[in-house]
Structures are given as structure tokens and as C-alpha cells.
């Protein structure tokens, strides 16, 4: 087992919670009147401007290119220790994602102000509670931006490519391990951070000590491992319907659980091949149920 049972259950529970919060945010962005008129799902405009004009059939291409370029830039910042540039970049991404997420429920100004406060807090005065709380909403904001750009075919290609890339980056080039360790050291980690303390649920180490010195063993789950299955579920929501999308997170959870319960605690593993497989099994079940 990769982690203790209590920590594993916290990671799995938080992952599932982030998926459902994200789907709730995305659902709030659906325009019901325009959807009825158009005969398909139509999304409201974002508070930050229009979504990129891309072809749904090939939308995975610019996303993959952006991921590769972003990874290269991040490795460059790590190499030359340009931490302040990295933190400002990370802050901008966090504020944008939180603003989009919270604008689903309140006017954009009232979403932006707490997004800015929590973003600065998260990046420059980090602690475990604020970090993980914001992580629950960040991926819903990203899904609201990106899910409408895909259809089921293109998002499936995206998941396959991401799974292959994740496996290569962890097992072959190992640069994903370097990224995770560097992000943790710089306290700008994108993903869940669940610290061990006394081996019990809710008994975390002091937040400042945990994030600043990392002396307490910490379970991590990368942001992509949360965001990509959520985008996939969001496209299922867009193309197939609400109840169908609500099934996908359980199958993604099963894939992640399989990894966490069978992995060696001393080794690094790519999570996306397992999560992607779970997503595809979930989609197969949804399609099969639709045929009955």
C-alpha cells in the first residue's frame, strides 16, 4: 500500500469531493434557455472573457502543446531557481481558476476578491488547510474553461495522451518526479498535500511546519490527476447528461484506489494511466446503460 489506510481514505475522499464540486461548478455554467433553443448544451460566458475558439475535434492538440511548453518553462525556472517568477505565475493561475469557480455562484467581483486573498495566502503564506481548501475549487474553475472545448472523442484522445505522457515522465525521463519534489520544496505545489500525523484522520501536523520544512511524511496527488478526469466528466455532462457525468468520478476513484492500494510506498507511480482507465470503464458503463 502506498500510504496508511487512514491517509489513503483521506486522499480518495478529497479526490472524489473535488470531482463533484467541479461538476457542480460546471453545471452552474450551463445556460438552460440557450441550451433548449440550440438543442445542445450551451455554456455561459466566463468572467475572464471568451473561451479560446478551437475546433472540438482537435482541441486536444493545443492543450497538449500548452502542457509540454508549460512543463519545459517550469523546468527552466527550476534549473535557474527563478522562484519568484514561478510563484507569480502560479498565483495568476490560482486567482483565475478560483475566480471562474466562484463566479458560478456570485457576481465576478465578489468572486475575484476572495480568490485574490486566498491566492496570495496560498502562495506566499502557505498552510495545509488553505492549500487543500483552494484545491477543491481550482479544478472546477479549470473545467469550466476547458470542458466546453472538447467532445467525447477529443477528450478521450487527450486522456490517452496524458496517460502515456505521465507514465513516460515518471518511469522513463523522471522529470515529473523532479517537478513534484521541486514544487513541494518551493511550496507552490499544484495538487493535494495530505500530511501524516499520528496516523489518524484529522490529526495533521502543524500547517506551517508541514509545508515549510516538510519534516512530516506527506501524501501528494498531482493537480493533473484531479483536473483531467474532471474535464472528462465535464464533457460527459456536456454531451450525454448530468446523471451520466456523476458516475464517472466513481470509476476514476476506483482507478486511483487500485493504484494506492497496490503500490509500493517507496516508489513513484504515474496516476493518470489508472485514472484514465477508470474513466473509460465508466464511460463504457454509461453508454451500455443508455442502450438498455
Residue found by looking up cell 497538449 in the block? 64
Q: How many Å apart are CA 280 and CA 269, to the nearest integer?
A: 20
Q: How many Å apart are CA 103 and CA 106, to the nearest integer?
A: 5
**For helices 223-239 and 152-167, angle between their N-to-C axes, nearest 10 degrees:** 160
Specify the number of domains making up the chain: 1
Range of the domain at 196: 5-47+54-291
User: Which letter does DSSP use for residue 13 in this model?
Assistant: H
The sign of the CA dihedral 81, 82, 84, 85 is: negative
- Answer for the pair 179, 75: CB distance below 8 angstroms, yes or no: yes
Per-residue pLDDT of the chain (292 residues; tens, 9 = 90+): 888 999 999 999 999 999 999 999 999 999 999 999 999 999 999 999 888 889 999 999 999 999 999 999 988 988 888 889 989 999 999 999 999 999 999 999 999 999 999 999 999 998 899 999 999 999 999 999 999 999 999 999 999 999 999 999 999 888 888 887 777 777 788 899 988 873 333 333 444 444 444 456 888 899 999 999 999 999 999 999 999 999 999 999 999 999 999 989 888 889 999 999 999 999 999 999 988 7
Amino acid at each position: 500500500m502506498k500510504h496508511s489506510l487512514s491517509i489513503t481514505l483521506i486522499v480518495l475522499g478529497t479526490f472524489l469531493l473535488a470531482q463533484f464540486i467541479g461538476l457542480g461548478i460546471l453545471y452552474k455554467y450551463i445556460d438552460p434557455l440557450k441550451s433548449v433553443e440550440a438543442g445542445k448544451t450551451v455554456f455561459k460566458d466566463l468572467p475572464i472573457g471568451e473561451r479560446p475558439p478551437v475546433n472540438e475535434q482537435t482541441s486536444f492538440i493545443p492543450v497538449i502543446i500548452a502542457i509540454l511548453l508549460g512543463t519545459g518553462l517550469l523546468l527552466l525556472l527550476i534549473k535557474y531557481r527563478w522562484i519568484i517568477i514561478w510563484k507569480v505565475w502560479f498565483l495568476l493561475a490560482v486567482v483565475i481558476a478560483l475566480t471562474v469557480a466562484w463566479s458560478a455562484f456570485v457576481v465576478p467581483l465578489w468572486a475575484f476578491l476572495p480568490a485574490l486573498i486566498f491566492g496570495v495566502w496560498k502562495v506566499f503564506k502557505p498552510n495545509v488547510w488553505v492549500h487543500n481548501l483552494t484545491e477543491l475549487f481550482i479544478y472546477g474553475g479549470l473545467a469550466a474553461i476547458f470542458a466546453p472545448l472538447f467532445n467525447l472523442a477529443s477528450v478521450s484522445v487527450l486522456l490517452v495522451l496524458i496517460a502515456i505522457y505521465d507514465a513516460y515522465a515518471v518511469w522513463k525521463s523522471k522529470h515529473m518526479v523532479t517537478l513534484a519534489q521541486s514544487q513541494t520544496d518551493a511550496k507552490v505545489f499544484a495538487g493535494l498535500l495530505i500530511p501524516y500525523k499520528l496516523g489518524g484522520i484529522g490529526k495533521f501536523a502543524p500547517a506551517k511546519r508541514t509545508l515549510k520544512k516538510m519534516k512530516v511524511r506527506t501524501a501528494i496527488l498531482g493537480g493533473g490527476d484531479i483536473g483531467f478526469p474532471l474535464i472528462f466528466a465535464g464533457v460527459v455532462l456536456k454531451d450525454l447528461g448530468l446523471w451520466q457525468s456523476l458516475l464517472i468520478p466513481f470509476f476514476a476513484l476506483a482507478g486511483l484506489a487500485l493504484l494506492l492500494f497496490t503500490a509500493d510506498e517507496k516508489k513513484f507511480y504515474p496516476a493518470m494511466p489508472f485514472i484514465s482507465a477508470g474513466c473509460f470503464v465508466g464511460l463504457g458503463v454509461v453508454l451500455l446503460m443508455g442502450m438498455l
